[in-house]
Amino acid sequence: MCELLFGKGLYEATEVLAGFQSSQPNRKSRIEIQFIMSTPEHHLFVCGSFRANGSPAGACVKKSSLALVQHLQEEVDSRSLGGVMVSMTGCLNCCVNGPVMVDYPSGNWYKGVTEDIADEILDAIENGTVAEAHLIRG
């Protein structure tokens, strides 16, 4: 059974399991599949300025944070950075520093992130360092 499921997508695996169960109706069996989502080494959260009512109203979205997310994702894909995930968030309440990006779990908060600065941050991630010049300091 494991050989049949290896490398299959969820739909294909479901079809294989359904076929297995229907081919052996008198056999009582319990099959469990655990889908594991790997935790990224760097999860980059970009402020999307979305407020509680759902509307983007803050500084980050006005400074092209939506385009920044697309740029980051394209760069992550083109650099084959498998340990990096990009997501957009609601307002991070740091409008004066926008666009803001947080690298989790490191806890590094970056300010004024443009596409060029995002490239510097990705360069630092690739080199195992931090883009210190762009950090928000307490």
Q: What is the DSSP string of 71-86?
A: HHHHHHHHTT-TTEEE
Helices 65-78 and 115-127, packing angle to 10 deg: 40
- Residue with tokens 């803050």, as numbered in its chain: 58
- Does residue 9 or residue 66 have the better pLDDT? 66
Q: What is the pLDDT of residues 47-102, one digit of tens each?
A: 998 777 766 677 898 999 999 999 999 999 999 999 999 999 999 989 899 999 99
Q: Provide the pLDDT for residue 110.
A: 98
Q: What is the pLDDT of residues 33-47, one digit of tens each?
A: 555 556 889 999 999
Q: Provide the pLDDT for residue 107.
A: 95
Q: Provide the pLDDT for residue 51.
A: 74
Q: Provide the pLDDT for residue 53.
A: 74
Q: Where in the chain is the domain with CATH 3.40.30.10?
A: 42-134
Compute the distance between CA of residue 91 and CA of residue 93 in angstroms, rounded to an integer. 5
With vertex at residue 21, the alpha carbon angle to CA 19 and CA 26, rounded to the nearest 5 degrees, is 140
Q: Provide the pLDDT for residue 138.
A: 76
- Whether 49 and 57 have beta carbons less than 8 Å apart is answered as yes
DSSP letter (8 states) at residue 56: B
For 42-134, CATH number? 3.40.30.10
pTM for this prediction: 0.71
Compute the distance between CA of residue 18 and CA of residue 119 in angstroms, rounded to an integer. 46
Q: Provide the pLDDT for residue 39.
A: 81
Q: Helix, strand or coil for residue 116?
A: helix
Q: What is the pLDDT of residues 65-74, one digit of tens each?
A: 999 999 999 9
Tell whether the model's pLDDT for residue 28 goes beyond 70: no
Q: What is the pLDDT of residues 122-138, one digit of tens each?
A: 999 999 999 999 999 87
Q: Provide the pLDDT for residue 104.
A: 95
